[in-house]
Amino acid sequence: MSSPFDLPLSSYDAGAFLRTGIDLLGLARQPEVGARWNEASALEGMSVGAVAAHGLGIFEQILMDVERPEPATPRLLGIVEYTRAARLDKREDLQSEGHRLLIRGAEDRASAGHDAICEQAAGWLEMLKWNLPAMDPAKHVILPRMPPMAGPLAMMIANRTVELIVHMDDLAVSVGLPTPVITPAAGAMALTVLVSVARRMNTDLEVIRVMARAERAKPDGARAI
């Protein structure tokens, strides 16, 4: 169930998600990414190719999620519960089995090569361009968490928008390219998610201090993931 910390999803914008996806794919296609595909990225333990493959793989995951039948008795959860599972609280979490599985999966996908990954992602994104804008944001979809959860499409896409933006920045920094400009609508969705999680994981006062009284703020006072 949603909590008081969940901001409303009135910022949902399928077009903004798609625009961000187009920007991520455009960045991934740059020759600098291909040239450094097998080199270390800005993320510890992941190659540049793995970061790109992981980020672009979001398109396929969404297609699989929305094609599943709507759950008859969904176990609903809010943005905070859905998103905070991705948080790593201490350095040792980088060695957790779940995190290692994620990295191995990304490296395995990246082994297909730069051109193949980008072409595959372009096909998934084209399908989403046709399908996503016509979907009901309130449709319940299975969410990829353990144990399995369900929630509205709008929540899932808002969370995936955070992932697209973060991994686009990861990829750009990894190869020394400027991060594409985030559209205001995509930023609104992403910040809705992140502020909701930051409020729960910290306190409202700490989040407000980061934004209004930086001299009194904790260094990680607004951290969400």
Domain 14-181 coded CATH 1.10.260.40: no
Q: Give the residue from 124, 131, 135 showing the smallest Cα distance to 25.
A: 124
Cβ neighbours around 166 below 10 Å, total:
15
Confidence band, pLDDT 50/70/90 cuts, at residue 138: confident
Q: Take residue 202 and report the two structure tokens written for it.
A: 């910290």
Q: Let me know: does 161 contact 11? Beta carbons within 8 Å.
A: no
pLDDT of residue 111: 95
pLDDT of residue 151 exceeding 60: yes
Regarding predicted confidence, which is higher, 196 or 133?
Answer: 133
| Residues facing 140 on adjacent strands | 152
Residue range 26-37, pLDDT digits in tens: 999 999 999 999
Residue range 63-93, pLDDT digits in tens: 998 888 777 655 666 666 666 555 555 545 5
Residue range 85-124, pLDDT digits in tens: 555 555 455 555 655 787 898 999 999 999 999 999 999 9
pLDDT of residue 70: 75
Instruction: Report, as an integer, the average pLDDT of 125-140.
Output: 92
DSSP-H helix ranges across 68-178: 79-83, 97-110, 114-131, 153-175
Cα distance between residue 164 and residue 172, in whole Å: 12
Q: Give the Å distances, CA to CA, from 165 to 20, 70, 218.
A: 7, 27, 24
pLDDT of residue 65: 86
pLDDT of residue 148: 66
Q: Take residue 47 and report the two structure tokens written for it.
A: 């190659």
